[in-house]
Structure 1
Amino acid sequence: MMWRRLPPSRMLVMFEAVIQCGGVTRAATTMNVSQPSVTQTIRQLEEHIGVPLFDRTVRPLRLTEAGRLLHEATYSGFNNIISAIDEMSWLKGSSVRPCTVAAPVGFATYWLMPRLAHFSAQYPDYPVNVLTTQEGAPLLSPRVDIAIRFGSGPWTDGQSDNLFDERIRPVCSPALARKSTDNNIPFDNVTLIHVEFNDSRWTSWDEYLQMTQRPKRGIRNSLHFTNYVQAAQAALDGRGLMLGWRSITYDMEREGRLVPMYGDAVAAKDSFVLVRKFDSRNKSVELLAGWLIEKAKCY
C-alpha cells in the first residue's frame, strides 16, 4: 500500500517545524521538545528517505535539493489537510462557509468593498472576508478562496477570469483644479502625489510622462506615500495631482470628488483578473466569483 512508503508523520511534522521556525532551536521550543530530540528526528527522517535534507555546512541550515522537493510536498499536503478539516467543520453545521478574497489594498478599498455591500444585501447568508495585500498578485492558499490580481498572467494555480482593463489619468480635487485654472498654474508647478512600489506593474509618474511624451519632472513639488489609500486621501484633500487608476478613483470621479486634470487617459500594461481555486466545494466562492465578474462587465 502507498502509505507503507511514507515516513512516520511525526518526522514530517518536525521537518516542517524546523523550516517554519528557521532552525532546530526555535523548532524545539515551538514543539515543546528538547533540541537533541529534534535533531534525532531529522536524522531518522533522512535515514528513512536515504538522502540528506539539510546542508549542515552553512548557518543557518539550508535545504538541499532533496529537502526542497520534500518541503514542497509536505507544505502542500499539510495545507490540504487543514483545508479539508476546515471544510468538514462547516459540514457539521447548517451555515455557509465564508469566502475569503485577497486583493491589493487600493482595489479592495475603492472597488471591492463598495460592491460587496450590495452583494451582502442581496445574499445575506453568504459571508465574505477580505484580506488586503500590498502586492499586485496575491496568492491562493487554504485560507484564500479568490485572489484579485493585477497583471498579465498566465496563472495556472486556479481558474482565471478577466475583470477589466486598467486606465490611468491624472486627477485632483475640484478645488485644486479651479485654483490651477484660475491662476494659470503650469503642470511643472503642481505638486505630484507619488506612490512608492517595488512592483513594476504599477505605473509611476515617470512612466506616465514617458507614455504621454512629456518631459520628465524633477523631485521638487512632490509627495510620497506607500499605498493608494493614502495617496487618494491626499488628492481628495487638495494636496496635489495623483495618477488616477480606474480601479481606485473611478467612483470618486463619477461622484465629482476628483476630476481629470493636466493629462489624457492611457491604457495600463496589465488588467485585473479574478483567480479562484479549481473545483472549489465552497458555494460562496462560485456565487461571489460569478457576481463580481458580472458587475465588472458594467464597469
Structure 2
Amino acid sequence: MNHRLPSLQSLVAFEATVRLGSMTAAAEEERTTQPTISQRIRTLEERLGLPVFDRQGSRLTLTVQGERFFRDISPNLKEIRDACERLIHHGQRPSPSVTIAAGSGFTHLWLLPQLPALKRAFPDFTFKLMPIDRADDPERQAADIAIRFGPYMPQDAGRLVASEAVFPVCRPDYASEHGLADTLTASHLTQLSLLHQDIKDPRWLDWTQWCQHAGLSLVPSDDVFAYHNYALLLNAALAGQGVALGWSPLVKDYLASGQLIALGPRVTRKDYGYWLSVKHHRSAVIQPIGDWLIDAVHQQEIASRA
C-alpha cells in the first residue's frame, strides 16, 4: 500500500454510514445515492487494504479495524465540518464598515499606504477612506474616525497622533545642483523654486508663515504656480521641480527611501498636530482601530530616529 490518503469523499461516506446506521441514510445526508455510498466505501477499503464492514448477514457490522478507524477519524471530520459551517456563516454576514476621514494629504500619503496592514490587523472590517480638507464638512463629522490637523481643541476630545514638524524637502540632486546643505538661509530662498499650494487655510503654514517662524525673510514673488492639493505639490518636488514644505508623517516614506531629503530649519508650533477622534456611539468597537493608527505613526517615528 502506498501512502496516498484515501479520498475525502470515501472517508465521509464511511463516517456518515456508521454515524447514521445505514448507507441509505448516509446517501440522503450527502445528497447522493446508496450505490454511490457503497462504491465509495469499497474504494476506501481498497485503499486501506482491509475491510471496514463485515458483510456476512443482512446487518452492516463494523470489523474490529473498522470500529477503531471510525473512532480515529470521526472527531476530525466533525471539526472539518464545523469549520466549514463557521466559515459559511461568517461569509454570509456583512462585514462591519469603518469610515476614516482625514485631510487629502494625510489620506493619500499616509493612510492609503497603511491600508493593507490595517486590513490584516482587522480582517473582520471593511474600511472606507474619505479625503476631506474642510473641518466643518458634514461627512467628516459623521465619520467613525476623524483625523484633523490643527491646534489642540479641548472640546474636540481628540488624541494626538503626531505633533507638527515642518521642514523643507527636495530631491537630493536638486539640493546638489543648488548647493544646499543641511539648513536653508534667506539667500538660498531667493535662488530656489519654492513650491506652493493654492489652499488658503490658516491651519497650514505656507512659505511666508514658515519663514516667519524660522526667522528668515522672504521676498514676495509674483511668479508663483500653486498646486491644488498637497499630493500634487509633493509630486512636483519628487520630479525635481523645486523645494516643498514637508510635514513629518507625510514625507517619512520618501525620506526613508532617499527620494527626498530634509533641510532645516525645522519649525514646530505649540499644540499643533494631527488629532484623532472616534465617533462616540461606536467608540467601544472603533477604539482599537484608532489605537492601531496612532501606534503605527509612533512606530514610524521611532524607526526614523533609529
TM-score normalised to the size of structure 1? 0.62
The match for 1:39 is none
The match for 1:169 is 167
- 1:286 equivalent in alignment to 2:287: yes
The AA in structure 1 aligned to 2:247 is: W
Please give the root-mean-square deviation of Cα atoms over the aligned residues, in Å: 2.7
Query: How many pairs align?
Result: 204
Hey, what's the Cα distance between the residues in 2 that align with 1:163 and 1:289?
9
Higher strand fraction (1 or 2) = 1
| CA positional deviation for 1:231 | 0.4
Larger Rg, first or second structure (1 or 2) = 2
The match for 1:189 is 191
**SS of residue in 2 equivalent to 1:295:** helix
The match for 2:15 is none
| CA positional deviation for 1:248 | 1.6
Q: Is the 8 A contact 2:148 2:275 kept in 1?
A: yes
| CA positional deviation for 1:196 | 2.1
CA 1:178 to 1:137, structure 2 compared with 1: closer, same or farther past 3 Å? farther
Hey, what's the Cα distance between the residues in 1 that align with 2:141 and 2:209?
37
The match for 1:277 is 279
| CA positional deviation for 1:297 | 2.4
Hey, what's the Cα distance between the residues in 2 that align with 1:148 and 1:222?
30
The match for 2:60 is none
The AA in structure 2 aligned to 1:173 is: R
- Describe the superposition over 1:102-144 as per-residue Cα deviations: whole angstroms up to 9, x where unpaired: 1000001111111222111233222110010122575566851
Unaligned 5+ segments in structure 2 are 1-91, 181-186, 302-306
The match for 2:248 is 246
The match for 2:132 is 133
Sequence identity percentage: 26
Alignment of 1:84-95 (within 5 A): 94-95=93-94
Hey, what's the Cα distance between the residues in 1 that align with 2:257 and 2:118?
21
The match for 2:211 is 209
Q: Is the 8 A contact 2:166 2:247 kept in 1?
A: yes
User: 4+ runs of 1 displaced by more than 6 Å?
Assistant: none
Hey, what's the Cα distance between the residues in 2 that align with 1:192 and 1:142?
34
**SS of residue in 2 equivalent to 1:230:** helix
CA 1:264 to 1:136, structure 2 compared with 1: closer, same or farther past 3 Å? farther
TM-score normalised to the size of structure 2? 0.60
The AA in structure 1 aligned to 2:115 is: L
Unaligned 5+ segments in structure 1 are 1-92
| CA positional deviation for 1:222 | 3.6
Q: Is the 8 A contact 1:164 1:273 kept in 2?
A: yes
- 1:103 equivalent in alignment to 2:102: yes
CA 1:250 to 1:192, structure 2 compared with 1: closer, same or farther past 3 Å? same
The AA in structure 2 aligned to 1:98 is: S
Higher helix fraction (1 or 2) = 2
Q: 1:160 aligns with which of 143, 158, 161?
A: 158
